[in-house]
Amino acid sequence: MDLIRDAIRTIPDYPKAGIQFRDVTTLLKDARAFRAAVDLLVQPWAGQKIDKVAGIEARGFILGGAVAHQLSIGFAPVRKRGKLPHQTLIEEYELEYGEDAVEIHIDAVDEGDRVLLVDDLIATGGTAEAAVKLLRRADAEVVGAAFAVDLPDLGGAKRIEDLGVPVTSLVAFEGE
């Protein structure tokens, strides 16, 4: 995991003072680290029946698309409100400074699909929780959530596990 941890850039005081931003774009540009991350994200799910990967905008599209490719299954984008051109299902959620929403196309997943949720990072878990609720409203079963980075002190992984969804992550940055 050192390869992956070392490939993630830390940007201090972004987007505001006191925040240590974990930037996975440096992991994505490193072919060896990117390949290792995708392989490790896939590993717990290989051989299990999964119908789709749902990736959360935007870096979750990159990792989730690669995971879906490795698993030879389809991909469902979970986007911010107003970004999808067809009919959508929308799930609103609270932010520390207001409200936001994510959406999927009404035909992004089929009833009973077993879906793996993928994103680059789990912090407080608000967006991931909204994505789980959205996928469930579409009658899909969320079998797991996989993240490259966990910030465990912010409680997001536990929040998703409390919904009954197993969570895996590749590296954790404590004290964030």
The set of catalytic residues is 59, 96
Q: Residues with Cβ < 8 Å from 85, sequence gap 6 or more?
A: none
Q: Which two tokens stand for residue 111?
A: 């009833």
Q: Residues with Cβ < 8 Å from 69, sequence gap 6 or more?
A: none
Q: What is the 3-state secondary structure (H, E, C) of 7-44?
A: HCEEEECCCCCCCEEEECHHHHHCHHHHHHHHHHHHHH
Helix then strand then coil, in percent of the chain rounded to 5, is 35, 35, 30
- Would you call 135 helix, strand, or coil by DSSP? helix
